Chains A and B, each alone.
Chain A
Amino acid sequence: MLPSSSRIRNVFEPLENSEVAELWNSRFGIPTHAFDGFRFYRKSNSIWVISDSLIPKLSYETLGMRMMNLKDRPWKPTTCALQIFGRNATKNLIHLDEAQAKIFLTGGSQPIESVSEMGYVVVFYRGEVLGCGLYSHGKLISQLPKERRMEASMQGEDI
């Protein structure tokens, strides 16, 4: 790989809103208009979302929030993006009770009965999005980033 081409791969390339909206609509049933008012960019294997505004020509480390990772199949949504867009999900979502939420929040796996398809799901507790889970063979595996987890020792505490 020539240095110049690797540099090109490392820039934020603008995407059409519809490209992103259709992926999220297809997996989570989120209405495509939920993605109006934002701009989307691809950098390497990640897609980023930022509020629609004039973006000056500068060298950026980040543009808004990283919302999905395309490295593996299927693509993976980030917990922070699910907290923004996931509340509009109409499929592939799982509601937890308090005991289940505690396991999820400490990063654990647990058997859950759900009609969700295999793959990434939006995890809710008390009507709010907790983050991203992986649903596979009747098990929900927490995908919460480590710095967003409760400590296992806090499992007995109220949440």
Chain B
Amino acid sequence: MLDHLNEEGIGYRIFEWYPLGLALDVERPGKLLSNLQGYMHIQEEVSMVPPLILDPQPGEQILDLCASPGSKTTQISQMMENRGLVIANEPSLSRIAPLRSNCERLGVLNVAITRYDGRLFPRGAFHRILVDAPCSSEGRARRGQSVLLRCSLKRSLDLQTLQIGLLKNAVRLVEPGGVVVYSTCTYAPEENELVVAEVLDEAHLESASIPGLKGCPGITQWQGRELNEDLAKCTRYYPHINDTGGFFVAKLIKD
């Protein structure tokens, strides 16, 4: 693919923290032949972090509980060298088509799509599970301020109920010793640390930092309330630090 980009005279910079991540110097990357032919996928830089923390291995069984449009699903599939099985779950019928289309364009052969409510996904003994949860998306504000107009404490608390349901089910579905990665593209502690805190009696946290990418520790105090100090092992990625979108990532190991 780099040969194609060089031939086409398209400038790019390889991320310091991920050799397969490229920042392209082009106006409409989606229209590049390399994209149409499935050699690349266009996405926000920092949203490539959660699959790296998940660290899936070829041959494993992985569940991506909130999969569409499949940026992380397909990155996981690639990390597994198209071997093993990734179950990409997406409850919304209208969001199945882009998920499927991205998988097919990128030549993915180890993904099966299901359409359960993630809180009720019925069974499994997965090696690793990604919960890239629906969130208020404050971390996307640089791509359009309108996302902030919809944010409120009430909205965050409504989402928190869903997020806790998803994360609790993921912890249930992963095998003992297995990894659950919880991520959002928002800053609200109600949707991040306060969600992760709900499962710390069944799982413990490990570091979710990436060498070469600056992260900040998860918060351990919010509105006068002391939280579990292990929540500092979560990582917050901020736009003003890395010149990316914002993200929150937690890595949990089931006890």
Residue ranges of A at the interface with B (Cβ–Cβ < 8 Å) = 38, 49-51, 53-56, 58-66, 78, 80, 83-84, 105, 128, 130, 147-151, 154, 158-159
B residues in contact with A58, CB < 8 Å: 87, 112, 114, 116, 122-124
Which chain B residue has the least Cβ–Cβ distance from A57? B123
Whether the Cβ atoms of B113 and A62 lie closer than 8 Å is yes
A residues in contact with B59, CB < 8 Å: 53
Taking the nearest CB of chain A, how far is it from the CB of B124, in angstroms? 6
Whether the Cβ atoms of B33 and A83 lie closer than 8 Å is no
Given contacts A58-B123, A61-B100, 9 further A-B contacts (CB under 8 A): A50-B109, A53-B59, A53-B85, A53-B110, A56-B87, A56-B124, A61-B96, A61-B114, A65-B109
Taking the nearest CB of chain B, how far is it from the CB of A85, in angstroms? 10
Of B37, B107, B112, B114, which contacts A50 at CB under 8 A?
A: B112
A residues in contact with B27, CB < 8 Å: none
A residues in contact with B84, CB < 8 Å: 51, 53
Residue ranges of B at the interface with A (Cβ–Cβ < 8 Å) = 8-9, 31, 33, 36-38, 59, 61, 82-85, 87, 96, 100-101, 103-105, 107-116, 122-124
Enumerate the 4 nearest inter-chain pairs by beta-carbon distance, A residue then B residue, closest first.
A51-B110, A80-B104, A61-B113, A62-B113
Most-contacted residue by chain B among A59, A154, A159 (CB, 10 A): A159
Whether the Cβ atoms of B33 and A51 lie closer than 8 Å is no
Of A63, A66, A149, which contacts B104 at CB under 8 A?
A: A66
Taking the nearest CB of chain A, how far is it from the CB of B205, in angstroms? 28
Whether the Cβ atoms of B100 and A62 lie closer than 8 Å is yes
Whether the Cβ atoms of B33 and A150 lie closer than 8 Å is yes
Of A51, A59, A154, A158, which contacts B109 at CB under 8 A?
A: A51
- Between A and B, 24 residue pairs with Cβ closer than 8 Å are A50-B85, A51-B85, A51-B109, A53-B85, A54-B61, A55-B85, A56-B61, A56-B87, A58-B112, A58-B114, A59-B114, A59-B115, A60-B112, A61-B100, A61-B113, A62-B103, A62-B113, A63-B112, A65-B103, A66-B104, A80-B38, A84-B109, A128-B37, A154-B31
Q: A147-B101, A151-B31 are in contact. Are A83 and B109 (CB under 8 A)?
A: no
- Expressed in whole angstroms, the Cα–Cα distance for A83 and B115 within the complex equals 27
Taking the nearest CB of chain B, how far is it from the CB of A103, in angstroms? 14
- Expressed in whole angstroms, the Cα–Cα distance for A118 and B107 within the complex equals 27
A residues in contact with B105, CB < 8 Å: 80, 147-148
Which chain B residue has the least Cβ–Cβ distance from A51? B110
Which chain A residue has the least Cβ–Cβ distance from B39? A128
- Expressed in whole angstroms, the Cα–Cα distance for A159 and B107 within the complex equals 20
Taking the nearest CB of chain B, how far is it from the CB of A13, in angstroms? 15
B residues in contact with A147, CB < 8 Å: 101, 105
Which chain A residue has the least Cβ–Cβ distance from B106? A80
A residues in contact with B61, CB < 8 Å: 53-54, 56
